[in-house]
């Protein structure tokens, strides 16, 4: 069963800081929920090996949770959904939504990153 939290959590005996969505990111998820007619969609964050800097951050919307997923409560029925391995790399991060000349996208502001890429989704720890 997926674990829910609205606070920092202890994961495998280690204190882990919460991931936070900026107001702009929350608004964007709300807009996407409305466009798709699915008010139960949440923002999933998956970290995989790759990208320009070593790890790649992938964002998606879904309304399912796997048994090992963590559901991080952002208020108003919105959750960030991630797995324990991903959370260990991005704990304490802020997810924002930016629009500029390059386009629009969710971006991760990861305090654990030693290096980042200009794309906002790739980092090294």
The domain that contains 89 carries what CATH number?
A: 2.60.300.12
Number of alpha carbons in the 13 Å side-chain half-sphere of residue 93: 26
Total of domains in the chain: 1
CB-count burial class (<10 Å; 0-12, 13-18, 19+) for 56: middle
Residue 120 burial (10 A CB sphere; 0-12, 13-18, 19+): middle
Q: What angle do CA 120, 104, 84 make, to 5 degrees?
A: 45
What is the DSSP secondary structure assignment for residue 18, as one 8-state letter?
P
| Domain hosting residue 12, numbered range | 3-124
Which pLDDT tens digit goes with each residue over 72-91? 889 889 999 999 899 988 98
Do 11 and 88 meet the contact criterion of CB atoms below 8 Å apart?
yes
Rounded distance between C-alpha atoms, residue 71 and residue 42, angstroms: 9
Task: Convert the pLDDT of each residue in 16-68 to its tens digit.
Answer: 568 999 999 999 999 999 999 999 999 999 999 876 778 888 999 999 988 88
């Amino acid at each position: 069963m997926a674990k829910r939290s609205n606070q920092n959590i202890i994961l495998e005996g280690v204190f882990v800081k919460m991931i936070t969505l900026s107001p702009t990111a929350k608004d964007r998820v709300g807009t996407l929920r409305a466009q798709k007619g699915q008010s139960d969609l949440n923002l999933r964050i998956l970290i995989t090996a790759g990208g320009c800097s070593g790890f790649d951050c992938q964002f998606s919307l879904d309304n399912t949770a796997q048994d090992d997923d963590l559901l991080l409560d952002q208020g108003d029925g919105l959750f960030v959904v991630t797995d324990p391995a991903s959370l260990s790399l991005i704990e304490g991060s802020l997810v924002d939504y930016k629009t500029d000349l390059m386009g629009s996208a969710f971006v991760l502001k990861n305090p654990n990153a030693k290096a980042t890429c200009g794309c906002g989704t790739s980092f090294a720890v």
